[in-house]
Structures are given as C-alpha cells and as structure tokens.
Structure 1
Amino acid sequence: MTFSGEFLAFMGLALVAIIGGVLLLNLTRVIHMVVALIFTFVAIAGIYVLLSAEFIAAVQILIYSGAITIIMLFGIMLTKHDDEGEPKTGKWRKFLLLLGVLGFAFAMYLGIYNFNIDQVPTTLHENNTMQIGKALYSKHIIPFELVSVLLLVALVGSIVLAKKEDKEADKE
C-alpha cells in the first residue's frame, strides 16, 4: 500500500465524515448535532473533489450543508418540543457502541482490502459540469421537467394542508 497525498486526504476526509456521523448519533443538544452533520456533509464534498466531481461537491455544499441544515434548524426551532434530554447513558452502552463501530470498520476493511477493480481510462473528469448539463438537458429533459412538476405539486399540496390546519385551529 502506498501512502500518497490523495490517499492521506481521503483517509482524513473519511475519518471526519465517520466521526461526524458518530457524534451526530451521540450528542444530546440539537445545535451540536447539526454542527456534526455539517462536518459530515463538508467531508463528503471533499471526497467528491478528490473524485474530480467538482459540480457535485459544490451542490453538496450549497444544498446539504446550507439549505437542508438551515431548514432542519428552523423546523426544530419553530416546533414545540420539550427540551428534556434523555437520561444519561451508562459506560457500558458507550463501550458497546464503540465495539460496534470498530467491528463495522473492520468488516468494511476486510471487504474492500483485496477488492480489485480494473482501471479503465475515462474522460468523465474532463468538463464534468458541461457533460452533466448536456446529459440533463438533452437525453433526460423529460424526467427533469417531470421532477420539477412533482416538486411544484408537493409545494402546492403542503400550502393547502397548512391552510386547512390554520382554519381548524381558528375554529377551536
């Protein structure tokens, strides 16, 4: 195994993503969980950059790290919830969680260590944003437009449902 800069960058980003995911599951304050989620999203975007998928990395940062996280925060902050945290967990639960994470990491390592993939020369990393645009607006224009109509219908439906709830709340 050779230790190149790309390998070390991948291992660092993968470690940040895994630590962010584990922290997301173990932290008790919502804001801390969201920060751990942001670290995970940014690390995944870094892995996309290593794979020469800059457009996907930019979308990952803009959509997930930005918009989705803000929507989650607003949803949590605007809903009624009791701020009572769960009771503190014991050391045995944390130990078993650590064993589970280490066991999963070891199983993944065994699964991919000797996995040989033939390297085929490709030009996917050259002008990938232009290639995505051409594919999206030529071959896949109908599904793209259908998804936009579906999202519009979902938006109108959510507005109608929210208006019905407001009318029912006014009657009470």
Structure 2
Amino acid sequence: MLENFKDFLLNGENLLFIFFSMLVIIGAVFLINLQKVVHMVIALATTFISLAGLYVLLEAEFLAFVQVLIYAGAMTILMIFGIMMTKHDRQNEEPKRPLHNGLLLLGSIGFFFIIYLAIQEAAFPIQEFTSVEENTELIGIDLFTWHVIPFELVSVLLTVAFIGAIIVAKREED
C-alpha cells in the first residue's frame, strides 16, 4: 500500500489534483466562516478559480474558461459592486462557542475519515477513456450549427435586459 501511495505522489497530475482540491475546500470553508463580505467574495473567487484548475485537469478546457470568465470574473465583480452599492453596518457579532466549534471539527474529521475509508474499499472498474482533441472547437461547431436559434435568442434577451437596465437607471436619475 505504501508503494502505491509513493507512485500516487510521484505523478504530477495527482499532486495538482490534491492542490486544487485543497484550494476548493479551503475557499469554501473560508467563505462560510469569514465575517467580512469582501473577504467572503475573495474566498469564493479562490474556489471558482480552483474549480477551473480541476476542469483543466479533466481536459475540459472550455468549462475551465467559462468558469473563470463567468463565475470568477463576472459574478465576483457583480458581488463587489453589490457590496459597494449597499450599506453594510457592522452588527453585533455572535458569541464565541468553543464547544460547538470543537464538536463541528470532530464531526468533520469523522466525516472525512468515513469518506476516506469508503473510497479505499471501493472497487472502481477500469474503463477506456478516449478524449476528443479539439473539444472546444466541437462545442463551437455544435453551438453554431445545431443550436444557433437558442444562441441567438439568448443574445437578444441579454441585449433587451441591458437596454432595460439603462432605461431603469435613467428613470432613477431623473
């Protein structure tokens, strides 16, 4: 078993998987536990970018690009604008609960130990995987040939929403 673990760690792809997985978990835990909203958004962006790294490891470059562009970029900027536009007064903090936090830590460690044992005992069938070389190109061809009408309808919908937002902003200004 120790020999398999050494082989596992010598593979660079496995090390990158562990790195990105830990970043996803750490970002999610920080998102839940941080107090300031801006810090939460940074933790969320870290989680999104780490997920994009996992998509690259899975050879899904298009999904990784969309993850960075839409979620890590646009959603994070949208949240920061929302924070800047609203008023956030500091409210009373919750009292510290060391017993609750200790039980939460103990439960989390137990949960991960159970998951680890379940994965170690599982027998996964080995299947042959054939990766498509130009999957982004194939997605583009499929999008612009078979799904061109929904694609155009979404672009019209986004344009109408953008114009509507401008009209609403102009009315509020007057």
TM-score bracket, shorter-length normalisation: 0.7 to 0.9
Give the share of equivalent positions with the same residue, in percent. Answer: 52
1:54 aligns with 2:61: yes
Could you list the per-position Cα deviations for residues 89-142 of structure 1 after superposition, in whole angstroms to 9, with x for gaps in the alignment? 311232233244435534554565525255233232x11221111111111112
Partner of 2:158: 151
Which 5+ residue runs of structure 1 have no aligned equivalent?
A: none
Aligned mates of 2:115, 2:160 — CA distance in 1: 41
Partner of 1:123: 131
Aligned mates of 1:127, 1:16 — CA distance in 2: 28
Change over 3 Å in CA distance of 1:154–1:86 after alignment to 2: farther
1:17 to partner: Cα distance: 0.2
Partner of 2:81: 74
Deviates more, 1:100-109 or 1:57-66: 100-109
- When normalised by structure 2's length, the TM-score is 0.78
- When normalised by structure 1's length, the TM-score is 0.79
Aligned mates of 1:162, 1:107 — CA distance in 2: 53
Deviates more, 1:25-34 or 1:115-124: 115-124
Query: Is residue 17–residue 40 contact of structure 1 (8 Å, CA) maintained in 2?
Result: yes
Q: Match of 1:48, as an amino acid? A: Y
1:22 aligns with 2:29: yes
Partner of 1:34: 41
1:34 to partner: Cα distance: 1.5
Q: Match of 1:122, as an amino acid? A: T
Deviates more, 1:38-47 or 1:147-156: 147-156
Partner of 1:7: 14
1:136 aligns with 2:143: yes
Aligned mates of 1:61, 1:144 — CA distance in 2: 20
What number of residue pairs does the alignment pair up? 166
